[in-house]
Amino acid sequence: MTENIDYKVRYSKRAKYLKIAVTKAGVEVIVPNKIRVSAKTIQDFILEKKTWIMKNLEYFSKHGSEDLDIKDLLPEKINLLAIEKAYDIFYIPTVSKKIKLLTNQNLQIKLLGDLKSPIACIKLLKAWLKQTANEYLLQLLKEISSETGLTYAKSCIRDNTTRWGSCSSEKSISLCCKLLFLPPNLARHVILHELCHTKHMNHGVRFWRLLEKYDQNAKVHAAQLNKISQDLPAWALKVL
C-alpha cells in the first residue's frame, strides 16, 4: 500500500514502459519484463500519479459496474485548448448498423448510425482525438525542434493513461493525444521537456538548466501538470 492506495503489480512482455491501469477491480501497476524496476520506483510512480488514480477510483466507487451510466461520459462539446478549437458534438441515430464520425469546417463532430453502444461512440471519439493529435502535435514538435535546435529521430502519438510524453535513448519521442486538452503553454512545456531528454535522459541539474533555458517557468508548469489531470474529460480518460 502506498499512501492508502492498494495496488497489484503485473509484469508484461508487451509493455515498453511503466504504466498504471485503474478499473473497477482496483489499481494495477504494469511493469515491462525487460526492465528492472525497484519497489521504490513503483511507489514513487504511484505517488506521482495519485491525483489521477484517486479520481478514477472515486468514479468506480460511485458507479459500481463499469458500464453503468456510461452514457453520461458522452460529451456534448470537446474543447482542445492546445490548438484553440472547440467542437460541438451531434449524435444522429440512423438505420445503419455501423457508426460513422464526420467533421466539418464549422467545428462540428457528427456521430451517425446505431448509437446504442456508448462504448463504440467513445472509441470513435478517441480515435479522432489521436488522429487530430497526429496532425497538430507532431507538427508543433517539429516547429519547436527547429526553433530550439533540439533534434529527435522519430515521433509518434499514443493514448497513454499516465504519461504526457516520453523520450527513448534512441531519441524517439512519443506524445500523449490528451495534450490537446492542455493550455498552449503547458502543451509546449511537455514537448520541450521531451526534447530536452534528447540531451539528458535523467532529471538532473543539467536537464532542468536546459529546460529552463527555453521555458523560464518550467518548474511552475511541471507543478501545474501534476494537478491538471483531474480536469480532463472523463470519456478521454476511460480505458477501453
Where is average pLDDT lowest: 16-20, 127-131, 189-193, 205-209?
Answer: 16-20
174-194 in b/e form (b: 16+ CB < 10 A) is bbbbbbbbbeeebbbbbbbbb
Predicted local confidence at residue 103, as pLDDT: 96
Q: How far is CA 137 from CA 8, 47, 48, 74, 124, in A?
A: 34, 28, 24, 24, 19
Q: Please give the CATH architecture assigned to the domain spanning 133-231.
A: 2-Layer Sandwich (3.30)
Task: For residues 169 and 67, give the distance between their C-alpha atoms in angstroms, rounded to a whole number.
Answer: 40
Give the count of alpha carbons within 13 A of 236, CB side only.
25
Q: Are the CB atoms for 72 and 92 separated by under 8 Å?
A: no
- Mean pLDDT within 108-127: 93
Q: At what angle do helices 218-228 and 184-196 cross, to 10 degrees?
A: 110
Predicted local confidence at residue 62, as pLDDT: 61
pTM of the model: 0.73
Where is average pLDDT lowest: 48-57, 63-72, 94-103, 208-217?
Answer: 63-72
Percentage of residues in the chain having pLDDT higher than 90: 56
Predicted local confidence at residue 72, as pLDDT: 72
Q: Are the CB atoms for 193 and 148 separated by under 8 Å?
A: no
- Mean pLDDT within 123-151: 97
- Mean pLDDT within 73-86: 94
C-alpha angle 90-95-99 in degrees, rounded to nearest 5: 50
Where is average pLDDT lowest: 57-61, 84-88, 176-180, 206-210?
Answer: 57-61
pLDDT beyond 90 at 102: yes
Percentage of residues in the chain having pLDDT higher than 70: 91
Rg (CA), the chain: 19
DSSP, collapsed to helix, strand or coil, labels residue 159 as coil
Domain boundary assignment for the chain: 7-63, 70-125, 133-231
Predicted local confidence at residue 67, as pLDDT: 45
- What pLDDT digit, counting tens, does each position of 54-72 carry? 877 776 666 554 443 566 7
